[in-house]
Amino acid sequence: MAINQEVLDEMLLPYPDKVQKNRTKHIVRKNPEEGCQQIEANTRTVPGIISQRGCCYAGCKGVVVGPIKDMITITHGPVGCAYYSWGTRRNKARADDITPPEQIYGAMCFVTDMQEPDIVFGGEKKLAKMIDEVVEMFHPRAVNVCATCPIGLIGDDLGAVTKKATEKHGIPVLAYNCEGYKGVSQSAGHHIANNILMENVIGSGDAEKNPSEFVVNLLGEYNIGGDSWEIERILHDIGYRVQGVITGDSSVEEMKNMHIANLNLVMCHRSINYIAEMMEEKYGIPWLKINFIGVEAIKKSLRDIAQVTGDETFIRKTEEVIAREEARVLPVIEHYRKICTGKTAFAFVGGSRSHHYQYLLKDLGMEVVVAGYEFAHRDDYEGRSVIPTIKTDADSKNIPELDIKPDPELYKEAHEHLNLTKEKFDEICSRVPLGNYEGMYPDMNGGTLMIDDCNHYEAEQLVKELKPDLFFAGVRDKYIAQKMGVPAKQLHSYDYSGPYAGFNGAMNFARDVANAMTTPAWKFIIPPWEKESENKGDINA
Amino acid sequence: MLECVPEGPVEHTIGKINPAKTCQPIGAMYAALGIHGCLPHSHGSQGCCAYHRMHLTRHFRDQVLASSSSFTEGASVFGGAVNLKTSIKNIFAIYNPEIIAVHTTCLSETIGDDLPTIIKQSEIPEGKRVIHTNTPSYSGSHITGFSNMVKSMVSYLAQATEPVKKDQVNILPGFVNPGDMREIRRIVDEMGIQMIMLPDTTGVLDAPQTNKYALFPEGGTTVDEIVDTGNSRLTLALGSWASDAAGAMLVEKCNVPCIPLRTPIGLKATDDFIMTLKEKCEVDVPKSLTVERGQVVDTLIDTHFHYQGKKVAIFGDPDIVIPLTEFVLTMGMIPKYVLTGTPGSRFETEVGKMFEEYQVEGSIAKADGDLFELHQWIKEEPVDLLMGTTYGKYIARAEDTPLVRVGFPILDRAVHPLMPITGYRGCLRLIEMVSNTLLDRRDRDAGDEDYEMVL
């Protein structure tokens, strides 16, 4: 079921000229004849458009640093931003050998609650005092301070306040200048968070690597609905040790020593590729793009990882785990596949998930006919090969790029990290896409649409035109789709279900999707007195 | 749960830990959704709009549409005039609402954008309207934002166009759920009184599934009705934090007298509401309402032993918490801790007066408080029941205290926004929730020998 170009052009006609010109560049109808088509991404949202996008603070505090369980995050600003990002993202955390329950702050919300006088006279003193009080009361291992819009305008020097606090309390107190107006979406905030964690946390520990272990980090995985735990379960079963996760159920204690890993695994490319790259530059650790969403994708990811280790034991164990898990979950998925097969879906999520979930839907025999990201860059659509050609504009220039140099003591070549000979490593690289991500485009079918920063108007028109069977988006769009008669599932928070990652996640997802489409209520929408009176006379039948 | 919270009584003097309020713009957005054919517009970074839509959507489980000026760094430096003018032009071209209700954010307030001037310079199609209100996040709370937006609706739109006031009443329901607005309307209808409710989110945020999608659902107060509020003979402002400002504006601008009342939650506040309507509109109270009231009193007598003497902590928005406190006193319970996140010392005075009236000693009333503080009090001296929003659930689990969910937001239970806590029916619902929660608890805690068929 594809949309033709004429219908698409017609859809954009009601837009004012400028908007039409702008939006046309963000919509690509895949033409397999053309090679990779260019899409516009990571540019300003059109003012007045009902966009799905959030802001820099949401990307920094809400997505990347908020989940770190043993850090207290103080939001410096008025009350709102902290309040909305309090417990709303479902990044779960639990106590373990490294982090006792009294060091977990995920259920708490800390904010300086700036008042008018603070805006007029500055809020630095208030912030400094709040840091003192909070450290004294809670004894966290480290503190984050995240800025909201007014901070940059009134000129509070977060860095100066946190530097003093670091000295005073003897724990890291980190400043994130992630004011909401920076950049064009959440994406700027991811980048800022990546920079600060890389500069201040990663590599600051002194753990020694045990040479008998193969150690991985999981980057860009936020443990929504317990995803990370399910992924770690599988990795542990094969025999890998997971040193740290950025940042699902993670602790600053674990993140400090992430530099001892043999390999970085990148789940969400958009939010975390910066750290993957910087760790490669600084320590030489190679990274691999993986996807643990959907049985086929998990199998490919696990096999890629095993290949990279070059270790027969891991390769064998990987196949054992795959066989064991498939035997367990495939019959269940097959049951739901019968319900889902042949159906179509739209997928609009923030970053990488719009791509990841296509694999899961393929497992169920469904096709994604329209997909888009809220805050992706061109490389998330077209693959990393386009990065050198992307011009930085005014909005991305104000996010600092760190100048990373190889660590004089810890830097090793990639093949050394993997305990491989250079020849063997090169041979593996020809088969496994280390350090690369090809983006969403290659996985889309001809005639399907990729839409960047899709807005309410476009989504509504496309639903009317293509009548998908399922709509995957965030909570703000869920009820819009459902009022149009299309079942909708939240892919940001999984409608409070989960995990959706891993083998167990594939089962959960299949069940939830089937339920969304088959819930009996859909049949009751039209009241009997408004239906065609075809059953007239049947009253006594 | 919450093992990180220090054991001993600690006091923090700066900022908020686990706030019991949020910022002004979300209140303004909610109020604006109560105008028919209105698109709320957030003048600031797009994250504010995204957060407010998300939170309202999670509470109401219904579509919340709103647009944003999508500030970037440039707009923050040079001002947001261009962004707002572009927004207004695009909104009318693409969505074609009857009216755009603009509210500010802490960013545009800090910059000092002059909204009236920018709106005057904008392209507004014939017959369409743009109104605005100032909602700096660094003062007041979401309730202040709601109040400011309703006041702006009046100051922009209400007009005294008739020589003689019409036989109709303005009802300002305040920041309550559509389920409450429906209940308030039902009572007024039952008494045979003509009314205009402002704002009215029924049909917008409790919209039915019809298989026909509407960008702007059927509900909401129409612009014509808002204009006509200037011709009403009387305004009842329910809940002084959310409704007094608009009520006062109607007095000042259109000479419509205003009677401030408590939100009709509980027996006494509902009685006052109905008595005021009876006296001011010179109508008889219909038997149906007398029967409803009698049912409430009957139920209170029948069930008092389930809850009388139990200690309760109540938190939430002032206009909800004050009459709710009054009702739990009517039920014979002891409101031990009564807290709102919204600033305003009047709150403490009003609740304090009730403590005196019912001779309650050793209770605390606090405005501009936070839930960390509430938790500290509860650790010091426990209560039998918590009443408040979803945000109380962590304390409930940490201290093993049952929670009855009331107010905004409720993010973890469905159907609340469609059901009233106002009016006599609301009384029954509150009694049911409180009794059953305490009885469920009693059953849970009972040994086999004490687990009984009849309670």
Cis peptide before B199 (omega within 30 of 0): yes
Residue identified by tokens 């572009």 is B86
Residue A89 catalytic?
yes
Residue written as tokens 């509109």? B281
Q: How far is CA B40 from CA A169, B29, B213, in A?
A: 45, 6, 19
Write the DSSP symbol of residue A291. Answer: -
- Asked if A80 and B88 come within 8 Å (Cβ–Cβ), the reply is no
List, for residues B12-30, the tens digit of each pLDDT value. Answer: 999 999 999 999 999 999 9
Q: Is the pLDDT of residue B74 over 80?
A: yes
pLDDT confidence band for A467 (50 / 70 / 90): very high
Does residue B269 surpass a pLDDT of 80?
yes
How confident is the prediction for chain B on average, in pLDDT? 97
CB contact under 8 A, B110 and A85: no
Inform me whether the pLDDT recorded for A339 exceeds 70: yes
- Ranking A162-171, A523-532, B194-203, B375-384 by mean pLDDT, the lowest is A523-532
Mean predicted confidence (pLDDT) in A500-528: 97
By CB atoms closer than 10 A (0-12, 13-18, 19+), residue B299 is middle
Task: Single out the residue of A374, A319, A324 nearest to residue A349, CA to CA.
Answer: A374
B66 in contact with A, Cβ within 8 Å = yes
Torsion of CA B201, B205, B211, B216, to 10 degrees: 60
Using CA coordinates, name the residue in chain A closest to B57: A476
B14 touches chain A (CB under 8 A): yes
What digits encode the pLDDT tens for the residues A59-88?
A: 999 999 999 999 999 999 999 999 999 999
- Which tops the pLDDT comparison, A537 or B448? B448
Nearest Cβ partner for B4 among A74, A138, A457 = A138
Whole-angstrom distance, CA of residue A153 vs CA of residue B258: 41
Torsion of CA A403, A409, A412, A417, to 10 degrees: -110
A26 is catalytic: no
- With 90 as the cut, is the pLDDT of residue A342 above it? yes
Q: Is A178 a catalytic residue?
A: no
Of B130, B280, B42, B354, nearest to A51 by C-alpha is B42
DSSP notation for B21-46: ---HHHHHHHHHHTBTTEEEEEES-H
Q: List, for residues B106-135, the tens digit of each pLDDT value.
A: 999 999 999 999 999 999 999 999 999 999
For residue A145, the 8-state DSSP code is E
pLDDT at residue number A533: 58
pLDDT in tens, B212-230: 999 999 999 999 999 999 9
pLDDT higher for A70 or B211? A70
User: Are A241 and A445 a contacting pair, CB within 8 Å?
Assistant: no
CB contact under 8 A, A54 and B50: yes
pLDDT value for A502: 98
Reported as a pLDDT band with limits 50, 70 and 90, residue A532 is confident
- The nearest alpha carbon in chain B to A113 belongs to B15
pLDDT at residue B425 tops 70: yes
Whether chain A has a CB inside 8 Å of the CB on B53: the answer is yes
pLDDT of residue A496: 94
How far is B71 from A152, CA to CA, in rounded Å?
14
The answer to whether the CB atoms of A113 and B16 lie below 8 A apart is yes
Cα–Cα distance, A430 to A434 (Å, whole number): 9
Residues of B in contact with A153 (CB under 8 A): 76, 107, 110-111
How far is A517 from A472, CA to CA, in rounded Å? 12
**What Cα–Cα distance (Å) separates residue B372 from each residue in A78, A95, A460, B70, B394?**
18, 21, 43, 34, 10
Share of chain B above pLDDT 70, in %: 100
Q: Which residue of A has its CA nearest to B44?
A: A181
State residue A334's pLDDT score: 98
Q: What percent of chain B has pLDDT over 90?
A: 99
Q: CB atoms < 10 A from the CB of B436, how many? A: 14
Is the pLDDT at A537 greater than 70, yes or no? no
Give the mean pLDDT of A8-23: 95
Mutate to test the interface with A, among B10, B51, B113 (most CBs of A within 10 A): B51
Tell me the average pLDDT across A455-474: 96
Per-residue b or e along A39-62, where b marks 16 or more CB atoms closer than 10 Å to that residue's CB: bbbbbbbbbbbbbbbbbbbbbbbb
**pLDDT tier for residue A1 given thresholds of 50, 70 and 90:** low
Residue A422 has pLDDT above 70, yes or no: yes
| pTM beyond 0.75 | yes
From A196-205, A524-533, B59-68, B92-101, the region with the lowest mean pLDDT: A524-533
Q: How confident is the model at residue A535 (pLDDT cuts 50, 70, 90)?
A: low
Amino acid B267: pLDDT: 98
Is residue A58 flagged as an active site residue?
yes
- Tell how strand A449-452 and strand A27-29 pair up: antiparallel
Do the Cβ atoms of A149 and B45 come within 8 Å? yes
| Residue B93 to residue A19, Cβ atoms within 8 A | yes
Q: Which of A56, A58, A178, A414 is catalytic?
A: A58
DSSP H/E element including B187: helix B178-190
Amino acid A541: pLDDT: 42
